[in-house]
Chain A
Amino acid sequence: MHHTLITLISLAAALLAGTAAAGPRDDLLAGYAAAARTASPAFAGFSAARGKDLHTRAFAAGKADTPACTSCHGQDPRGPGRTLTGKSIEAMALSVTPARYGDPAKVEKWFKRNCNEVLGRACSAQEKGDWLTYMAGQ
């Protein structure tokens, strides 16, 4: 059940990325998958459902102002977000902002900043892959 879902999502993501030649997004996900497998041999693929949970859950170990990813990115992944200093952020859903996640250095830079901000620690490769899989399917 889960596997078909993941296959479908990866397929959709691949189709969306289609024209973008080698697809830096796929490479990024493949890199996270390899790292997740190294970290845990039981790793069985990314899950959009876990990604959604990461995106919406309120954590206690980060900054009080920003308990969740949604604190800045908004409740609806297809809608815009806003930083605490009032800057609007384009939607994170790939279907709405197709230019997203095409620059691995940018993705890594923001995972580093934002995971620290929200969870008070770095995100694992599995968490990053789950989250990206969720956004790619939105």
Chain B
Amino acid sequence: MNIPYRPIALACIALLFSGLVLNRAQAGGGHYYAPVADPMVKEECGSCHLAFAPAMLPASSWRRMMADLGNHFGDDASVDADTAARITRYLVDNAADTGGQRFNDKLMRGVAMNNAPLRITELPRWQREHREVPDWEWRHKEVRSKANCVACHAGAERGYYDD
């Protein structure tokens, strides 16, 4: 009998690798989303709110959002075309279904990747994780918006959402 050593070895390596990656992700409490590392994205997308982790939305979402920054949730977040192209590339490359896949955890559960949702706070999984947060807490003057992740997740700027 002919034993296929090569594919088996490859499968072993793949298994080992995914194990390592998973372990690393879990070291942060299992809820680590790599924060934005690009200084331009941090500047342009992190001045009004936390620069949201690209792995929290699929690539289609970032493309859709970046195509209409002049009308960004009622705000004008527009930037020049070169800047927009560079930001789009970064977000798309690190999205939940591309480079950021290993961080996206359960947040993408029930999300059709090509559906392009614009809000992290409207993802079914996000809503489930937060369904026990009482109403008064959302309205608290230190919170005011669901998108104000830092108010409750002190480590959000560094990518941690486990407290």
Give residues in A with beta carbon < 8 Å to B.
63, 83-87, 89, 109, 112-113, 116-117
Contact = CB atoms under 8 A, between A and B. Distances in A.
Nearest to A113: B76
17 contacts: A63-B74, A83-B47, A84-B145, A85-B48, A85-B49, A85-B148, A86-B49, A86-B142, A86-B144, A86-B150, A87-B47, A87-B49, A89-B47, A112-B76, A113-B75, A113-B76, A113-B77
B92 to A, nearest CB: 23
Nearest to A83: B48
Given A112-B76, A113-B76, A116-B76, A85 B46 contact: no
Contacts of A117: 75-76
Interface residues of B, number: 18
Given A63-B74, A83-B48, A109-B79, 16 more contacts: A84-B144, A85-B50, A85-B145, A85-B148, A86-B49, A86-B50, A86-B144, A86-B147, A86-B148, A86-B150, A86-B151, A87-B46, A87-B48, A87-B49, A87-B50, A87-B150
Contacts of B148: 85-86
